[in-house]
Structure formats: structure tokens, C-alpha cells
Amino acid sequence: MTTTDSAPRAEGVRWDLSPLCASADDCRQRLATALADCHAFEDRYRGVIAGMDGAELAGALAELARIENELGRLHSYASLRESVDVTDAENQDLNGLMERSMVEAANALRFFELEWLELEDALAEQLANAPEVADDRHHLLSARRFRRHTLSEPEERMLAERSPAAASAWQTLFGRITSTLEAEFDSGDGVEPHTIDRLLACVRNPNRDVRFRALDTLYKALGPNAPTLAHCYDTLVGDRLAMDRLRNYDDPMDPTHLRNEVPGPAVEAMMSAVEAHYGLAQRWFRAKARLMGLDRLHLADQYAPLGEARQVLFPEARGIIDASFRAFSPSIGDIAEGFFADERIDAEPRAGKRGGAFCASVAQDAKPFMLMNYTDRMDDVMTLAHELGHGMHFTLSAQKQTALSFHTGLALAEVPSTFAEIIAFDHLMATEQDEATRTALVCERVEGSFATVFRQTVLARYEQDAYRLRSEGTTLTDDRLSAIWVERNAAYYGDAVELPDGYGLGWSYIPHFISTRFYTYAYVFAHLVTLALYARYREDGDAFTARYLDFLAAGGSAAPADLLLPLGVDLADPACWDPGFHEMERMVLRAEAMAGA
């Protein structure tokens, strides 16, 4: 990273992928070796799993973990290269090769999981309880929850072969359209091309005219692409529903629930509880309108700053992260600093780069990498903390768990990232001297909680509607998607917020719908759980910190309910969501008091 203190928008902050692979050619060569290892593994272990003892199963799992680590490293390298330049031909070629090779690898290794699933329950339980495989016990037993949804090996092989054309190609097309889309816009520094992310950043501009024009520009730019983006989604949803029928899933959300290891009824109860509190959000919108001197809030005002937060260049953001994380735990501070020191962050916005932010776990024996689009806003500091929260989780779990057990489901994975945001927020509130920035931080914290809990529930409901329509034989055109988008959002905003005509296209640029269905409810789960955890941290201090680090290090070695119980969160208790809503109500009461004053 070559950035200086005066560099805007994290100029020069690009990652160095050489620790993963020296070059595209090196990746190709190592990929050929990894594929050979996959076939050698198949030759050695096919047909013998039922006769293994604990020690033999442990040996096979260790070999499988080594292969999957290498494949994870190579796949991440190709994906990370393309995420920062989707237009580069070599990146496209490497990713195409990787997709085909991952299918070949999966086909070669698939027998192992299928033979494990075919075992009678008693034998599987006996093998999973062998002391030699203790570290992977939960992985082995939890895999069997997919038993009734797994097809024969020839069928699974055929489905894997068609996956690149049936799914990945449409995801890639969506990514290329949304990452390369630019529109001319003047945000105050003259007219220049703005990506989707830069236009969305403008909705936090203190100038109301800029906010209104940014939304109008965004929707006009999306309009010509909406039919193609809708077709991408329609095709993916149709394909997923077809796969669900083949795999005997009763509900489109079931695969996500199983991956998250969270029961469907618990998720439905959580989302219903959120919807029952929509009035709380509308109280906030009305209070904000009074604070802004408006009769009614417009969508363009939803994230308008109440108090103008000062600019935060990337080097200062790095210092904020270091100080806040180390105050919680020095070891967490060391992990975060490693991302900067090792050049494992790509933060500079540029054309051709994927929008949004993510942290890639890469592999159990490799360090994670992080992407974001840093635009010098205080809100970007929160995003930086969020993704580094994922990074601390990946790092600690990789140190303690195997390659097969260090990942968690999506719902639990979002807890450390949300927790890290609150750590950074508390530090800023304790140290920030600028009053306008402090006011903006408080309001952004309220709006961040509401956007996470309420808006992500809206997104999950929108997905349910889309899958229901498609399952009934209705094509998901852009007009139909816009109609259900507006209907679900109108229930949330009520009469407290005016929605612009173009808002019907709000669905069109959200990558989660394309990449992972029903991803968004994981944010709701994580945020409500995290608020409860942070309340416990304030009560218990260092004693909680030790338990929390153990939770991070546990990775996916147990079910979410079992991992959270030592931290004082009982998912079996319907009241477990209450602390989150209580905290948000306190935020609203504070805002209403400010408005009254």
C-alpha cells in the first residue's frame, strides 16, 4: 500500500495477492497438481469408507483437508483478481478455468461425502465419536442433515457439470453490469463518472439537492439495464427452484436454514418480531423529519447526516481501528494490523472493481483478504471495522479448527463483524472531539441498526415473494420485481417516508440476491444477537472478552445455539431478541427527546 496521509479515497491501497500465488501461470500449474491429488484421493478411498476405523477416517479427513485448503487458496486467488478488475481478459480466463476445475475437483471428491451419507446412523455415530476425529465430529454429523436432499453420485456429477452455465455465468453477467456501470454526476467537485457505490455514498451528503439528484441519477442509470438484471435473477431463481424440487426441499429458504444450522420456525419468528416493531422505525423517521425541519422524510433524507461528520482519510481510519480493537483485546489488534501490514486490503474505488465490501477467508492455512470501496466517510470506518471483524473470526478459528470445521453458517458469521463495528463506535464516541461528528455518529448508529434489522428483513421478505411468484410460473420481469419491492418497502416505511418513483429499481443492484439466496436474514440474526452480547460485555468486562475470543476460535465446531449459550444467549428462548429491540427503542427515545428540544 502506497497511500499517503493526503491521498483521497484510499488511493493506492491495493492488496498484494502474491502470498496466495505468484502469478496466473503459477495458479494454473498448482491447480493441475491439485486436480491430480483429487483423483489420487478418489483412487485411494473410493468404496472403503464403510470399513474404516477411527484412525483411518482421521487420515482420510486430514488428506481431504489438505486438498481443500489448496483448492480454496487457488480459487480465492482467481476470484480476488477478478473482483478488482472484472474487465481484464486474463482474469476472466483464469476464473473460467477455475470454475471448470472446481467442478472437476468436486466430482472427484464427491464420493467421500456421499459414502459418508449412505452409512447407517449407528455406524456414522460410532465413527464420529472416535477420539481420532474429535476435531471434526460436528462437521461429520452436521453434514448428515443434508442426507435426504442429496442425490446419487451420477446425478450430483451432472448437476455440478452444468453449474457454471446455469448459475455462475448469470452471476458474472450481473457483476459485470453493476461493477462497470457509471453515470456522469456532480457531487460538488465538478462533473465526473460515478459508480453505483459513489452515487449511493452521495445519499449521505449534507446537501439535500445532491442527495435528490444522486438518487435520480442512479435510477436513470439503472433503468436501461433493469430488464437484463431482472433476467439474471429470474434465471437463477428458476434454476434454484428446479434444484429444490429435485432435492426434496419444501421451502426455498430450507437450504439456507440448513447451512446456517438455524431452524426455519426460529427464523420466521424472528422476522415476524421485527415486522411487529416496524412502528418503532417509523417513529424514528418522524423524529428525524422534525430534527431536519421537514414535514415528512423523503427516501433521499433517510441517511442524511444530522450534523456533518468530518472526513476520515484511510491512514486515520487505520489508527482508529488499531486503538479501538486493542482496547478490547491486544490479540484482536494484532490480527487487524496484520491486514494493513501484509497488504491484504484493497480499498481504492475504481472502475471495473466490484462494489460493496467483503472479507474472504481464503483457506484454513492461509490468511484472509479484504475488499472495500473507501470514500473517506466516517461510515467507511464502520465498514472497515465490520469486515475486519470477519477477519478476526477467520483468523482465530483457523488457528484452532481444521479446514473442515473453521467455517460457520452465514447467520453466526455476521456476529463478529457486527460486534467489531460496535467496538469501533464506542471508541469513537469516547475520543471524538468534533461535536458535529459525534452527532452524526449517534444518528448513523441508530440508522445502521435500523437498516440492518428492519431493512434486511424487508429484503428477505422480498425474496420470499419473488420465489413464490416464480414457483407459480410467473416470470420475474423488472416491472414485477419493482412492484413487490415497492410493496414490501412501503410496509416498512409506512406514511413516514415518501418514496420516489424510481425506487422500484432498488432491488436491481443488490448482489446478495444473485450470489446467495436469503443471505440477508443472517444480518438480522447477527445484529440482534450482537446487541445482546455487547450488553453482556458491558456488564462482565474482561471476563466476557475471554469467553468471546473462545467463541471466535470455536469456528464451526458446534451448532450456533451451542456456541452462543456460554455467552448468555439462549436461542430457544423467544425473549432472546428482546434486548436488541429494547436497545433500539432507547435510541428512538433519545432521538425524540432531541427533536422535542
* Position 410 pLDDT exceeds 90: no
pLDDT value for 6: 58
Q: What is the C-alpha separation between 142 and 151, in angstroms, rounded? A: 17
Instruction: Considering the chain, tell me which residue range(s) the CATH 3.40.390 domain(s) occupy.
Output: 314-423+521-596
Whole-Å CA distances, 395 to 325, 378, 494, 553? 15, 26, 43, 8
CA 83 to chain centroid, in Å, comes to 15
* Position 281 pLDDT exceeds 80: yes
pLDDT band at 595 (very low <50, low <70, confident <90, very high): low
pLDDT band at 585 (very low <50, low <70, confident <90, very high): confident
The answer to pTM > 0.85 is no
Burial, 561: exposed, middle or buried (Cβ in 10 Å; 0-12, 13-18, 19+)? middle
Q: What percent of the chain has pLDDT over 70?
A: 98
pLDDT band at 168 (very low <50, low <70, confident <90, very high): confident
pLDDT value for 162: 80
154-164 pLDDT, tens digit per residue, is 988 888 888 77
Q: What is the C-alpha separation between 398 and 302, in angstroms, rounded? A: 39
* Position 510 pLDDT exceeds 60: yes
Q: Which is more confidently placed, 167 or 32?
A: 32
pLDDT band at 194 (very low <50, low <70, confident <90, very high): very high
**What would the mean pLDDT of 429-455 be, rounded to a whole number?**
87
Nearest CA among 118, 115, 138, 120 for reference residue 128: 138
Q: What is the C-alpha separation between 4 and 580, in angstroms, rounded? A: 40
Give the 3-state secondary structure of residue 361.
coil
106: Cβ–Cβ under 8 A, 6 or more apart, which residues? 160
Query: Which DSSP state fits 473?
Result: T
pLDDT value for 28: 97
CATH number for the domain running over 314-423+521-596: 3.40.390
pLDDT value for 594: 66
Burial, 373: exposed, middle or buried (Cβ in 10 Å; 0-12, 13-18, 19+)? buried
pLDDT value for 3: 41
* Position 307 pLDDT exceeds 90: no
221-240 pLDDT, tens digit per residue, is 999 999 999 999 999 999 99
pLDDT value for 2: 41
Instruction: Considering the chain, tell me which residue range(s) the CATH 1.20.140.70 domain(s) occupy.
Output: 16-150
Which cell is 238 given? 428458476
* Position 4 pLDDT exceeds 60: no
**What would the mean pLDDT of 573-590 be, rounded to a whole number?**
82
241-256 pLDDT, tens digit per residue, is 999 999 999 999 999 9
Q: What percent of the chain has pLDDT over 90?
A: 76
pLDDT value for 176: 92
Q: What is the C-alpha separation between 197 and 217, in angstroms, rounded? A: 12
359-395 pLDDT, tens digit per residue, is 999 999 999 999 999 999 998 999 999 999 999 999 9
Query: Which DSSP state fits 319?
Result: H
What is the amino acid identity at position 208? R
pLDDT value for 97: 96
32-59 pLDDT, tens digit per residue, is 999 999 999 999 999 999 999 999 999 9
* Position 421 pLDDT exceeds 80: yes
Q: What is the C-alpha separation between 489 and 278, in angstroms, rounded? A: 11
* Position 188 pLDDT exceeds 90: no
Q: Name the CATH code of domain 16-150 (choices 1.20.140.70, 3.30.2000.10, 3.40.50.920, 1.10.1060.10).
A: 1.20.140.70
Burial 343-354 (b: 16+ CB within 10 A, else e): bbbbbbbeebbb
* Position 1 pLDDT exceeds 70: no
Which cell is 292 given? 431536519
Q: What is the C-alpha separation between 387 and 421, in angstroms, rounded? A: 9
- Between helices 278-292 and 264-276, what is the axis angle to 10°? 40
**What would the mean pLDDT of 483-511 be, rounded to a whole number?**
96
User: Strand ranges (DSSP E) for 279-402?
Assistant: 297-298, 345-346, 358-360, 369-371
Q: Where are the alpha helices (DSSP H) in 504-556?
A: 511-515, 521-540, 542-554
Q: Are strands 358-360 and 497-498 parallel, antiparallel or unpaired?
A: unpaired
